[in-house]
């Protein structure tokens, strides 16, 4: 970096933010290129480290906020000024640590000035900067790999996405902290979109954690306007939009049948046992302009555990479209039966599904009780550890967490169509005669 560009950057940093942006916009592409590695010129306030004495800096923000860039720039600043730094880079998996934190568009290799770019040795999972600083890649899914190594700093990416099965996420964090004992001021940056998981709740409550909260639109000048408008139109103020775009940590609703913690305890990255019987649960919409068609695939497996395998629900679909989606789900997952709620016209539901060439046993079910009454025995299965969720099912899980004990639904949306579909499928697989009264069509 030339002295001229350094002095120009210092002058620009002395200006108010609006004046600085105006001058940057007026520069030629060549002039801006000379300044592009002066991060403080380009960062918005939420991407810069907070003041004060903190152990961890938690960036809790919506997608597109610039969390990855902020974490990478924090690491770069340390590595370029402290040759003795030993930095842990921890992702949900080793593949994500490499593809996002190291080699991604906002990763450490992409943001480094040419003369200061670290050397990446994939076989050693290691980066080495010209000044001597080193970083090592770790997977949060392997907490024991963090037992022993010592570090002066760490960047933990998407901590709310870390594997929570068996307490792995918290074990990975604990092992990291126990090894954070090099240098005069060990620190951690954690970047994540929020989800209601135990580790994130612990970080938010910790007195030595500085928190930056932010929304997708806070980084609007670096995002396509069409993306912002499309996301607002698609998700609005739904629970998913509040979480993924506005960076809100969605808390549990008091009195709900399912809690976020219960669902995290039930989560598996992949099914630990092969399926014995697969059922597709369907909650048809009352009209093409109304609610979604809930389509959820569940299985009972060799280990006796029921698993929710996929949410194939479709929004605002015509009868032909949602019937085809049911047929596709049944074919993809080799389903043994389709169970469909028929309160909104059983003959129509049967004819629509059969018109989609669904050559499977079809069971039509009529609800004799309200949604919550149907859901309560299924929620008890989760409490007993008899149901698992395979992978991430955010829209379905939001609806489950809106079903209230004793009756009622508190969103998102008008109707828990996905949750209803899951309840019918799990009732068919596990509860049998003990579930809600049904009749076969």
Give me the long-range contacts of 5-9 (CB less than 8 A, separation at least 24).
Answer: 5/34, 5/35, 5/38, 6/38, 8/34, 8/35, 9/35, 9/38, 9/40, 9/41
- Structural domains of the chain sorted by starting position, each given as residue range(s) with its CATH number in brackets: 43-244 (3.40.50.300), 260-434 (3.30.420.240)
Q: Name the more confident of 237 and 438.
A: 237
pLDDT in tens, 249-258: 767 777 889 8
pLDDT in tens, 263-287: 888 988 899 999 999 999 998 887 6
Looking at residue 299, its pLDDT comes to: 96
Which residues are within 8 A (CB) of 258 and not within 5 positions of it... i.e. 6 or more apart? 379, 382, 397, 400, 401, 403
Q: Say yes or no to pLDDT of 436 above 50.
A: no
Q: Could you write out the DSSP letters of every residue in 96-165?
A: HIIIIIISSTTSHHHHS-GGGPPEEEGGGTEEE-TTS-EEEEEETT-GGGGSS---SEEEEE-GGGS--G
Q: Could you write out the DSSP letters of every residue in 366-387?
A: --SS-HHHHHHHHHHHHHTT-E
The upper half-sphere exposure of residue 180, i.e. CA atoms within 13 Å in the direction of its Cβ, equals 20
* Range ranked top by mean pLDDT from 26-40, 59-73, 224-238: 59-73
Per-residue pLDDT band for 10 (boundaries 50, 70, 90) equals low
Mean residue pLDDT across the chain: 85
Whole-angstrom distance between the N-terminal and C-terminal Cα of the chain? 75
DSSP 360: S
Q: How far apart are CA 239 and CA 216, in angstroms?
A: 15
* Range ranked top by mean pLDDT from 288-292, 311-315, 360-364: 311-315
Which tokens hold the place of 56?
A: 């961890």
| 362-365/337-341 β-pairing | parallel
Angle in degrees, 0-180, between the axes of helices 319-332 and 346-355, rounded to the nearest 10: 60
Which residues are within 8 A (CB) of 268 and not within 5 positions of it... i.e. 6 or more apart? 165, 307, 388, 389, 390, 391
Average pLDDT over every residue of 430-438: 56
């Amino acid at each position: 970096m030339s002295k001229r560009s350094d002095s120009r950057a210092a002058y620009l940093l002395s200006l108010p933010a609006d004046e600085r942006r105006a001058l940057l916009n007026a520069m030629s592409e060549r002039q801006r290129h000379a300044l592009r590695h002066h991060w403080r010129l380009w960062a918005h306030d939420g991407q810069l480290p907070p003041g004060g004495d903190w152990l961890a800096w938690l960036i809790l923000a919506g997608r597109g906020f610039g969390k990855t860039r902020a974490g990478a720039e924090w690491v770069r600043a340390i590595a370029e000024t402290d040759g003795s730094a030993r930095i842990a880079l921890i992702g949900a998996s080793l593949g994500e640590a490499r593809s996002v934190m190291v080699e991604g568009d906002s990763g450490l290799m992409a943001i480094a000035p040419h003369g200061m770019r670290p050397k990446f040795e994939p076989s050693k999972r290691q980066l080495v900067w010209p000044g001597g600083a080193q970083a090592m890649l770790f997977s949060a899914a392997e907490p024991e790999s963090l037992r022993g190594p010592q570090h002066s700093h760490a960047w933990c990416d998407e901590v709310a996405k870390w594997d929570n099965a068996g307490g792995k996420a918290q074990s990975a964090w604990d092992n990291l902290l126990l090894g954070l004992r090099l240098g005069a001021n060990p620190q951690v940056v954690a970047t994540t979109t929020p989800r209601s998981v135990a580790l994130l709740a612990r970080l938010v409550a910790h007195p030595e954690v500085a928190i930056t909260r932010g929304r997708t639109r806070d980084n609007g000048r670096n995002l396509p306007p069409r993306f912002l408008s499309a996301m607002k139109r698609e998700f609005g103020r739904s629970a998913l939009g509040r979480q993924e775009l506005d960076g809100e940590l969605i808390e549990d609703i008091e009195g709900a049948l399912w809690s976020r913690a219960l669902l995290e305890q039930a989560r598996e990255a992949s099914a630990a046992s092969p399926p014995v019987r697969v059922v597709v649960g369907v909650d048809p919409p009352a009209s093409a302009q109304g609610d979604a068609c809930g389509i959820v695939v569940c299985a009972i497996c060799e280990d006796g555990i029921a698993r929710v395998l996929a949410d194939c629900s479709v929004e605002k679909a015509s009868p032909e479209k949602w019937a085809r989606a049911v047929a596709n789900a049944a074919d993809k997952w080799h389903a043994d039966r389709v169970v469909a709620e028929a309160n909104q016209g059983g003959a129509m539901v049967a004819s629509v599904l059969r018109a989609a060439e669904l050559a499977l046993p079809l069971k039509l079910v009529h609800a004799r009780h309200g949604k919550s009454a149907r859901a309560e025995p299924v929620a008890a299965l989760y409490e007993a550890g008899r149901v698992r969720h395979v992978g991430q099912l955010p829209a379905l899980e939001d609806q489950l967490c809106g079903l209230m004990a004793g009756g009622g639904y508190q969103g998102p949306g008008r109707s828990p169509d996905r949750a209803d579909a899951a309840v019918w499928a799990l009732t068919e697989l596990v509860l049998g005669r003990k579930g809600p009264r049904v009749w076969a069509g």
